[in-house]
């Protein structure tokens, strides 16, 4: 790979292992095709760079690993060395070396300081008591959680907590305390919350919203001291007003640059700290650079990740001979704090002369929105959105540009506003985290041929950090696709203009039960191989009867039509259900006898059951008669429906198991068997964290904990493997089943045709968090509908095969020929391999000497 001799390769040392450091290494390695730089990253924390912006989500059920940024690939790059848990002690600029905490000396050709910030702690008495925390790293939040959980077990009242600081970080910390069920008060010195981002009106709206969530707010309040009891935090006293009893205090009053290495090395630091750099991010020493929060650029330190990323890109560019300069920081932010949307962008405080403010303040709805316009009311300068920030993605890229509509229209509730954005100028920044312009997104669609959101994300990185721009990215994608003639209407096919989800709704709401009725009212023509199976699946999901009843039979794909799986030669395979993979010896023998009698090739599936291959269409009822008589039922291996619930052996036998995974798997499989869905569904249950059932590779994965079950969703194997993501922790069995019910039913209600759960979760507006809201907090108020739909499914389940065997009209479909229903297809030919039949290849057919016609004729020997 490297085109230069090792001696020509230069060494870059990056001090700091945060998000910006990772971005620098990523950008450099992406562009440095010739391998001009080898990189060593000194990372003080014991883990690779992680998503610090998402730190609070650690409390809402995510694991540290879920905060990982990007893949491991970057750290596996032979030109990149990541040294975790190793801090830099000193820099010797003359010698161009860095000395590390573990006593090594590293030579550098270039040095980048990306040491970030530390959380400031005000000099109040009592700040060092146990129970006083800052909020900066995974270790900080893990310590906080451990402390609060320890207190909870010893107190017989709720834990009381206070956050000092009502800014962005403080409200994040308050969210963390609330997630830990701590009785929380936010104490802010300024007269309003988030004083740097919102004005008085926005601050007031924010206060009301947050107080409605049960968090107390004390603004205009200075903390005087923290009182202790046996070395632990017990009380807060203020310069004015009543003192307050607390058990835990978090300081979130801001951050300070970690510039001590630079100071000791004699580099210039800013008035309020920070390593002074020029517009190319370089210090006065041409071999030393600083990026991110530690850099003092244009006279200030910037505590947001987006400008840090920009600096990382500039240094990567300059290390390779480029001339990039810092364009100035976009301090726009959009956050969800305690579930409340807050956004601030552009000239939010109307500091520029002559600005006009358009304000909508609705205390009842808990919304405050302000746009700052130029003096002619045409050009957008900035704005503040509190309570509903849906307009942010569309508005922020328009800063400095004419809005082209009545500004107030942008502030109306979602849905009633005009849909802007399609005609955004090419140079408008859409994703400020990754600095992706509207033009770059259009280019990804038009030139690189991306046709979906996942493709655009992979190609441009837009929306891969905070994700707030995703609605806009999607809109741009759709617009470009439409321009180039690609059908993105969501219409199923030429017969229906509706998407699957829309069709599901109308069929459900109008109670339609036949295809003729549905296509007559909502479509045209006679349907096709796209829409017919969709309607068949919708009718089956709604529990309207057997899939082969009357006209409904014509809707089914061949697999559903004969309730078996078509194989390459036109024969079928048969899979009886084996719930949870548990089978009695008698059951195994019965399956074995059926396979032997009909000469079927037998193989164990990945879903812990047995697949029997080589059944001719006219044999299927006979095979199933035998299986049903032995107590087996359809395994639905042929349907877009629940396939299997895989399990490990669990606590009944396993030395390590903590819960009965087999018992739960069987219960789940019996509950969801036969549930028709937009695509196949696979579940898994593991009895302990060793995860032998590979549950995280399933659409729904359940992993036992000491306290109950952790629930993961959206995993799959196949062409694009995905790990399922954590939806909820430590559920008892009843709550688990209710949550899985709702997750599955909501998926069935709203997913696209052939969209598996992973893609559905990714495409869903608001992603997994929004889905969690629907299934756990009933944020859409449809929980009862989902529960009722699942109850109806469970109540109406019948074994499709047993029902078909009772009905001569259905059995008639299994005749091989309409004029010779029992005559085998004479083109089927098999040869023996490892003692079983397999279809003959073309060349074997030509040398017909080795042929075995029909499986039942020969392999039965």
Which spans of this chain sit near another protein (rule: CB under 8 A)? 494-495, 525-529, 531-533, 551, 553-555, 557-558, 561-562, 566, 568-570, 617, 813, 815-823, 825, 827
Nearer to another protein by C-beta: 551 or 798? 551
- Answer for the pair 138, 45: CB distance below 8 angstroms, yes or no: yes
Two structure tokens written together for 281: 């991010």
Nearer to another protein by C-beta: 561 or 680? 561
Nearest to 120 by CA among 300, 273, 247: 273
The string of DSSP letters for 740-786 reads: HHHHHHHHHHHPPTT--HHHHHHHSTTHHHHHHHHHHS-TTS-HHHH
Q: Least separation, in Å, of the C-beta of 842 and another protein? A: 8
Strands (E), 591-704: 601-604, 610-615, 642-647, 681-686, 700-704
Q: Least separation, in Å, of the C-beta of 32 and another protein? A: 39
Nearer to another protein by C-beta: 557 or 785? 557
Nearer to another protein by C-beta: 481 or 566? 566
Q: Least separation, in Å, of the C-beta of 510 and another protein? A: 22
Nearer to another protein by C-beta: 710 or 855? 855
Give the DSSP H or E segment for 135. none
Cβ neighbours for 800, distance < 8 A, ≥ 6 positions apart: 546, 547, 548, 563, 634, 636, 674
Q: Least separation, in Å, of the C-beta of 823 and another protein? A: 7
Q: Least separation, in Å, of the C-beta of 453 and another protein? A: 24
Give the DSSP H or E segment for 669. helix 661-672
Q: Least separation, in Å, of the C-beta of 600 and another protein? A: 18
Scored b (16 or more CB within 10 A) or e, 161-199 reads bbbbbbbbbbbbbbbbbbbbebbbbbbbbeebbbbebbb
Nearer to another protein by C-beta: 365 or 823? 823
Q: Least separation, in Å, of the C-beta of 525 and another protein? A: 5
Nearer to another protein by C-beta: 119 or 562? 562
Nearer to another protein by C-beta: 65 or 551? 551
How many C-beta atoms surround the C-beta of residue 404 within 10 A? 11
Tell me the Ramachandran region of residue 415: left when phi exceeds 0, alpha when psi lies from -120 to 50, beta otherwise: left
Query: Contacts from 3-6 at CB under 8 Å and sequence distance 24+?
Result: 3/34, 3/35, 4/34, 4/35, 4/36
Nearer to another protein by C-beta: 500 or 742? 500
Q: Least separation, in Å, of the C-beta of 597 and another protein? A: 24
Nearer to another protein by C-beta: 50 or 515? 515
Q: Least separation, in Å, of the C-beta of 824 and another protein? A: 11
Q: Least separation, in Å, of the C-beta of 825 and another protein? A: 5
Going by their DSSP bridges, the two strands 288-290 and 295-297 should be labelled as unpaired
CA distance 694 to 686: 7
Nearer to another protein by C-beta: 410 or 601? 601
CA distance 98 to 100: 6
CA distance 644 to 608: 8
Lookup result for tokens 């065997």: 805
Nearer to another protein by C-beta: 174 or 564? 564
Nearer to another protein by C-beta: 400 or 525? 525
Q: Least separation, in Å, of the C-beta of 44 and another protein? A: 53
Q: Least separation, in Å, of the C-beta of 546 and another protein? A: 15
Going by their DSSP bridges, the two strands 232-238 and 117-119 should be labelled as unpaired
How many C-beta atoms surround the C-beta of residue 611 within 10 A? 20
Distance, CA of 14 to chain centre: 30
Alpha helices per DSSP H over 222-331: 260-264, 305-319
Lookup result for tokens 């297809």: 825
Q: Least separation, in Å, of the C-beta of 393 and another protein? A: 37
Cβ neighbours for 284, distance < 8 A, ≥ 6 positions apart: 267, 268, 276
Nearest to 635 by CA among 597, 568, 680, 592: 680
How many C-beta atoms surround the C-beta of residue 274 within 10 A? 25
Nearer to another protein by C-beta: 53 or 566? 566
Q: Least separation, in Å, of the C-beta of 497 and another protein? A: 16
Q: Least separation, in Å, of the C-beta of 763 and another protein? A: 24
Nearer to another protein by C-beta: 104 or 812? 812
The partner residues of 251 in beta bridges, in order of sequence, read 134, 164
CA distance 442 to 463: 14
Backbone angles phi and psi of 639, in degrees to 5: -100, 155
Nearest to 135 by CA among 162, 180, 172: 172
């Amino acid at each position: 790979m490297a085109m230069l001799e090792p001696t020509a390769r230069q060494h870059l040392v990056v001090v700091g292992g945060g998000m910006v450091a990772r971005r620098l290494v990523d950008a450099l390695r992406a562009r440095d095709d010739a391998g001009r730089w080898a990189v060593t990253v000194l990372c003080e924390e014991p883990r690779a760079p992680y998503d610090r912006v998402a730190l609070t989500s650690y409390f809402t059920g995510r694991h540290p690993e879920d905060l990982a940024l990007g893949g491991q690939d970057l750290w596996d790059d032979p030109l990149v060395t990541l040294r975790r848990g190793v801090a830099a002690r000193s820099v010797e600029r003359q010698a161009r070396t860095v000395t590390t905490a573990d006593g090594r000396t590293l030579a550098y050709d270039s040095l980048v300081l990306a040491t970030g910030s530390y959380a400031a702690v005000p000099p109040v008495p009592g700040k060092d008591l146990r129970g006083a925390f800052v909020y900066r790293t995974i270790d900080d939040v893990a310590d906080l959680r451990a402390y609060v959980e320890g207190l909870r077990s010893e107190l017989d009242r709720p834990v009381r907590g206070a956050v000092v600081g009502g800014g962005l970080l403080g409200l994040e910390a308050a969210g963390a305390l609330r997630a830990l069920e701590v009785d929380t008060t936010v104490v802010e010195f300024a007269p309003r919350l988030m004083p740097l981002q919102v004005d008085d009106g926005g601050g007031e709206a924010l206060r009301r919203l947050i107080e409605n969530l049960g968090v107390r707010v004390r603004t205009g309040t200075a903390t005087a001291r923290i009182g202790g009891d046996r070395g632990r935090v017990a009380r807060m006293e203020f310069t004015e007003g009543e003192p307050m009893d607390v058990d835990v205090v978090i300081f979130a009053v801001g951050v300070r640059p970690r510039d001590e290495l630079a100071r000791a090395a004699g580099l210039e630091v800013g008035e309020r700290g920070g390593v002074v750099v020029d517009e190319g991010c370089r210090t006065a020493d041409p071999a030393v650079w600083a990026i991110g929060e530690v850099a003092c650029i244009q006279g200030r330190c910037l505590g947001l990740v987006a400008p840090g990323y920009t600096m990382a890109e500039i240094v990567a560019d300059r290390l390779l001979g480029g001339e990039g300069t810092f364009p100035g920081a976009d301090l726009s932010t959009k956050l969800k704090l305690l579930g409340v949307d807050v956004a601030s962008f552009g000239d939010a405080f109307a500091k520029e002369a002559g600005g006009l403010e358009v304000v909508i303040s609705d205390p009842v709805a808990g919304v405050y929105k302000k746009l700052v316009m130029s003096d002619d009311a045409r050009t957008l300068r900035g704005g503040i959105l509190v309570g509903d920030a849906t307009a942010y993605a569309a508005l922020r890229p328009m800063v400095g540009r004419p809005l082209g509509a009545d500004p107030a229209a942008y502030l109306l509730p979602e849905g009633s506003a005009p849909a802007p954005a399609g005609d955004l100028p090419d140079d408008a920044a859409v994703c400020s985290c990754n600095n992706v312009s509207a033009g770059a997104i259009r280019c990804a669609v038009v030139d690189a041929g991306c046709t979906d959101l996942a493709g655009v994300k992979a190609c441009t990185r837009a929306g891969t950090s905070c994700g707030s721009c995703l609605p806009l990215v999607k809109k741009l994608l759709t617009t470009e696709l439409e321009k180039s003639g690609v059908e993105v209407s969501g219409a199923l096919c030429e017969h229906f203009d509706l998407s699957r989800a829309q069709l599901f709704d109308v069929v459900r709401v109008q109670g339609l039960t036949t295809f003729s009725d549905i296509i007559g009212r909502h479509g045209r023509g006679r349907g096709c191989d796209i829409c017919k199976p969709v309607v068949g699946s919708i009718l089956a999901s709604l529990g309207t009867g057997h899939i082969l009843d009357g006209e409904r039979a014509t809707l089914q794909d061949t697999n559903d039509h004969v309730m078996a799986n078509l194989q390459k030669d036109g024969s079928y395979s048969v899979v009886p259900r084996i719930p949870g993979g548990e089978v009695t010896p008698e059951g195994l023998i019965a399956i074995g006898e059926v396979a032997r009698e009909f000469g079927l090739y037998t193989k164990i599936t990945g879903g812990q059951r047995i697949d029997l291959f080589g059944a001719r269409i006219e044999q299927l009822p006979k095979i199933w008669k035998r299986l049903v008589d032995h107590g087996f039922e359809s395994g639905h291996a042929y349907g877009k429906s629940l396939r299997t619930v895989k399990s490990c052996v669990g606590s009944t036998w396993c030395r390590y198991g903590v819960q009965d995974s087999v018992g739960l798997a069987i219960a789940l499989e019996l509950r969801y068997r036969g549930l028709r869905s937009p695509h196949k569904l696979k579940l898994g249950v593991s009895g302990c964290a060793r995860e032998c059932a590979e549950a995280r590779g399933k659409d729904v994965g359940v992993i036992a904990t000491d306290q109950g079950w952790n629930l993961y969703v959206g995993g799959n194997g196949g062409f694009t493997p995905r790990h399922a993501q954590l939806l909820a922790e430590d559920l008892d069995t009843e709550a688990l089943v209710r949550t899985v019910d709702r997750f599955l039913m909501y998926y069935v209600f709203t997913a696209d045709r052939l969209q598996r759960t992973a893609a559905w979760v990714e495409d869903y507006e608001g992603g997994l968090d929004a889905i969690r809201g629907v299934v756990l907090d009933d944020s859409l108020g449809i929980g009862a509908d989902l529960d009722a739909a699942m109850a109806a499914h469970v109540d109406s389940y019948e074994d499709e095969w047993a029902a078909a065997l009772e009905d001569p009209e259905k059995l008639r479909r299994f005749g091989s020929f309409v004029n010779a229903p029992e005559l085998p297809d004479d083109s089927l030919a098999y040869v023996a391999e490892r003692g079983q039949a397999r279809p003959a290849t073309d060349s074997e057919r030509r040398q017909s000497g080795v042929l075995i016609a029909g499986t039942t004729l020969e392999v039965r020997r």
